[in-house]
Structure 1
């Protein structure tokens, strides 16, 4: 009912001819009332905040935003932000050419249009996919007994696929910034990309349902797009999924807590050849992929995968290996038409975002840029840096870090920058060189895009290092790019009223936006981030005592979070605690910065009605309490029951309720604000603290 009340508040504004974009007392009050109604609608005020703060702040959220009822994977703040952003992106893509469009924008629109028309391509799809296969050889499941095993060379085949289209079945090769010297690029060689992404998706009992679904997809693709007979398609799909599971056993287990330095080794190609010959010829793989003889050392990533790969290949029939490689090639080119125009639009948007994330963010920014939001983010960033700098200099909380190491941490903080991912300085013209995307042929468009991307990867080996491209991830969530010592803020966060607005109390802005940025700042000093210096180079700048103290304190988080359960599932005890460290440090940092501002206002205005502007109408909470409520409501969410087990198995982030309870139960000042007695669930005797 409170949400309806918030919506009805808008009606008199429109009736009386007011415009919500105008800055009048009336419009400001409407927006504040609406925000108060939203916050209140998520809460369950019958819950004692000292017993379970998540249920207090988010206890009604699941009832009004049920993922099951809405038939969504999940509901939550980031889902809402994404929906708002997607609506604007779809509007741009579906709008005929306008004055904002660049030549590159038009090509993105052409690709989107070709995806919308994919149903018309179905009669020609099998031929197009068979032509792709024929570029690299023959596929056993299509050739039958006539397939010649002795003609199949898996190293040459995967290298040629990688050279042409950047698709690397079995073993991947990339060219990216040297983690030890980020001014140059180096070759990284290691595990392939897996459709199910993580090791746990292939080996955990809880995720078996997803492997079965993927096996069904393989069978369907073989039948529908290659014309394979049903029984043969079923048998082949089972062989391929079993092979992929076998390969995935060599993947990095993220719960082991291994960072990039543990997982990479700078080594000569000759040395790698010695390790894996004769099954895996690294020299030939690299030279064919890059079309040149490479003499520089390269990075081997995740040697466990290569060792496992060699053993798996020894015991796997060549026919299975070949079928797998050719299937992985065509898998990238297949898109199933949706059963409605609306679903087709959504599916095509997902594909366009995956390929052209930078373009869409730039298009969005050029059309919807809000100077107030950019200024707000910059102001918050300055306050967070100043607050953490002060803590590093003088806070007793950080006495576990030796003074010289604190000084190096300050130097890293000073070198850390924040950027909005708007790509206003990006050279899209150069990036699109060689592309001529049309509105009619999705497969040909995707082929062109893959050809150009593979060529650009090869060229990077002889070019200065450019900013890291993290794809669509940077469109939706802030991220700390450790190798650049830079925090990237997505343009989707510039949308007003979701988590920030100039009419909201600062408590809300600091409890949400400042926390999210503070979370990323702390990532620069977590178990992985602390291994990078002020220039973004992998370098161990910690002394032994400070490092040992860090490890001891991290163990506290491992114990704490390993004792939680979610939806009846016991969470894994993981050495890796980077997300929990960032959650805990981020909320402390944001609150400290807010409290500094709050206390200054009290001194300036003499505590007039305890900062009335920091309260919201109809909500009887102080600004300090609103900060913690706003933080908790970032993580109000619901996950569809069928994916909860997968979330526990695969996500390094804790479920939302655990992120709230874990962080705030470690924070003394939270207990002071809500007067939680010692020993209560939200104020336990043992607290885990790093930053």
Structure 2
């Protein structure tokens, strides 16, 4: 089969799913024709991505993914990167787009209708016209005046920076420069606690603000600031340019206090309980913590609270001392209005996608719940549950064994077994959420996007303040919807996005189990291992922050960790040397998760051999057009989970900011440590994919 035919066949399934009229073909039909069609399409897709001329023992990523970048070029598609998770995200967005653009239907709850109203207000943002600027200026006027708008009439002596940020937080829940947060108590996850913590940084990572390789992103952000000042506040071009530079310089200065992501410091190391008096003594008079808390929370706070990342507050003290009040005021008010700014696009498709992103940001749980109620597949939920039970059983056997994980001392191993037993896998469907309570007094309407955002922030902030005197609620992953599983230490739970329930991307009844275990089970296994790495081991079976490992087991883990540091520190990605990282938790999870998934798959495979009808199940474990065994298909599937293409301009940022190793090296690093992989592909001892030294913990 030539490359063109492979390419066409590989996209048959996509064409059927996306282009065909709703009743033209039903891929869920249980007929021999549909089953064969699905298997052939998946086979062709796998084959199209591979370059079978590459020696798998020299470079397994290129063997499994050698043609992927030609078929799914990020540059040609005008995106940052392409890959399986991006493909699933696109499929999810298509369904969400249909869901939000559909007139009210039988599925809609009153809360769903409000979410649709918000989405509509985003689409109709151009209707605000000249009133947009006035609405933003009224927001500023709630808290004071902005120097760049007032000019020489602005009075520095009237400006109280700490009082301003505290009142903004009390009203809208925005931390600017620094502030408070009410969330679950690390030491007791049944109650909430107050944290003193840094602001949210638009570029997120310290390296994005200080590394030479990421300068272009700072320049783009500075231009964005200038554009907002001009377009939304009517500031003259030269003054907007000068102000944008001052604000960017200040943000870079603030970012010096951020934690270096390569240091691998965990939440338990960064958040320390102190009394308000202790904090007052450390930072007063520059940072009046007592006053900040009173104005932010609306009541006097005594006793212990948490301070997150002490070095940020220490740096902030010095930044405040040397920064002109005019610059501080401009920065505070810019950060205030930035949360309400949405630049409309002249491209209808881009406008819809931008508005979906904003709707997901403000209503992540609602979107997941709406998605699940419309597109759920109970069969996929059962399959994932079965896979989860098998992964837990397999890891439990390793912990029980006297030899498999002998670097963990028996008392610690017993506690690990208890933690594993308590660990849960939950699909993020939020079917038990009381959305009526969460939306109380919210009335989102019409085209007024700014007012809708204001109402949401007012409600959420009031609810957050009320949390201080209520039991803790379930911890959420983040404001954004994820497309891969995520381990939450505070819950001792792996959360599974509903998007992964969509059929055909990863799983189908007719696909070999080898493919599903190589991809989805490896991802779930990755998150399971996070419960037992240098981060996860800080949380006990109930999800409370607690050190339950003995010193010898910690020492043994550290020795294994150093092996990964040496191994991955040698890798070069597209000419860029990877940064040396003390914490190797993502690489350890990649290695352990894949190995756990493979062991579970072998267990399933061997169990089928023992069943009277097992041969029927095993008959589909190979693909007729691919000359690979079921176990080899597992490793090909694992590798193809990470096939990707990244825009060349993004590669430096990827290396600087992502705690995960670039996908190509995730495949090579993980599989080169695995004896079973080397055995299945007959890799000579000492070859690239079967090196003499292997790094293994789990």
TM-score (norm 2): 0.97
Q: Please state whether the residue corresponding to 1:175 is helix, strand or coil.
A: strand
Q: In 1, distance between residues paired with 2:278 and 2:444?
A: 43
The alpha-carbon deviation at position 151 of structure 1 amounts to 1.1
Corresponding residue for 1:258? 265
Corresponding residue for 1:116? 123
1:377 and 2:384 matched: yes
1:60-209 aligned within 5 A: 60-209=67-216
1:416-468 per-residue CA deviation (whole Å, 9 max, x = no partner) reads 01110000000111111121100210000001011111111101101101101
1:590 and 2:597 matched: yes
Q: Which runs of 4+ in 1 moved over 3 A?
A: 6-19, 471-475, 603-611
1:4 and 2:8 matched: yes
Q: State which drifts further: 298-307 or 608-617.
A: 608-617
1:336 and 2:350 matched: no
Q: In 2, distance between residues paired with 1:6 and 1:642?
A: 29
Change beyond 3 A, Cα 1:12–1:143 = closer
Q: State which drifts further: 15-24 or 623-632.
A: 15-24
Corresponding residue for 1:287? 294
Aligned residues: 691
Change beyond 3 A, Cα 1:471–1:217 = same
Corresponding residue for 2:683? 676
**What runs of 5+ residues in structure 2 fail to find an aligned partner?**
none
Corresponding residue for 1:386? 393
Q: In 1, distance between residues paired with 2:217 and 2:89?
A: 24
The alpha-carbon deviation at position 600 of structure 1 amounts to 2.2
1:562 and 2:569 matched: yes
1:425 and 2:432 matched: yes
1:502-651 aligned within 5 A: 502-604=509-611, 611-651=618-658
Q: State which drifts further: 62-71 or 598-607.
A: 598-607
Is the contact between residue 47 and residue 56 of structure 1 (CA under 8 Å) also seen in structure 2?
yes
Q: Please state whether the residue corresponding to 2:183 is helix, strand or coil.
A: strand
**What runs of 5+ residues in structure 1 fail to find an aligned partner?**
none
1:341-356 aligned within 5 A: 341-356=348-363
Q: In 1, distance between residues paired with 2:282 and 2:484?
A: 39
Q: In 2, distance between residues paired with 1:602 and 1:469?
A: 42
Change beyond 3 A, Cα 1:480–1:154 = same
Corresponding residue for 1:240? 247
Q: Please state whether the residue corresponding to 2:340 is helix, strand or coil.
A: coil
Q: Identify the match of residue 489 of structure 2 among 482, 488, 508.
A: 482
Q: Identify the match of residue 470 of structure 1 among 477, 483, 486.
A: 477
Corresponding residue for 1:657? 664
Is the contact between residue 179 and residue 292 of structure 2 (CA under 8 Å) also seen in structure 1?
no
TM-score (norm 1): 0.98
Is the contact between residue 523 and residue 593 of structure 2 (CA under 8 Å) also seen in structure 1?
yes
Q: State which drifts further: 372-381 or 22-31.
A: 22-31
Q: In 2, distance between residues paired with 1:370 and 1:439?
A: 34
Q: State which drifts further: 390-399 or 490-499.
A: 390-399
Q: Identify the match of residue 500 of structure 1 among 492, 496, 507.
A: 507
Change beyond 3 A, Cα 1:598–1:9 = same
Change beyond 3 A, Cα 1:44–1:610 = farther
1:53 and 2:60 matched: yes
Is the contact between residue 491 and residue 542 of structure 2 (CA under 8 Å) also seen in structure 1?
yes
RMSD across aligned positions (CA) = 1.8
Q: Please state whether the residue corresponding to 1:398 is helix, strand or coil.
A: coil
Q: Please state whether the residue corresponding to 1:396 is helix, strand or coil.
A: coil
The alpha-carbon deviation at position 26 of structure 1 amounts to 1.8
Is the contact between residue 175 and residue 198 of structure 2 (CA under 8 Å) also seen in structure 1?
no
Q: Identify the match of residue 453 of structure 1 among 460, 467, 480.
A: 460
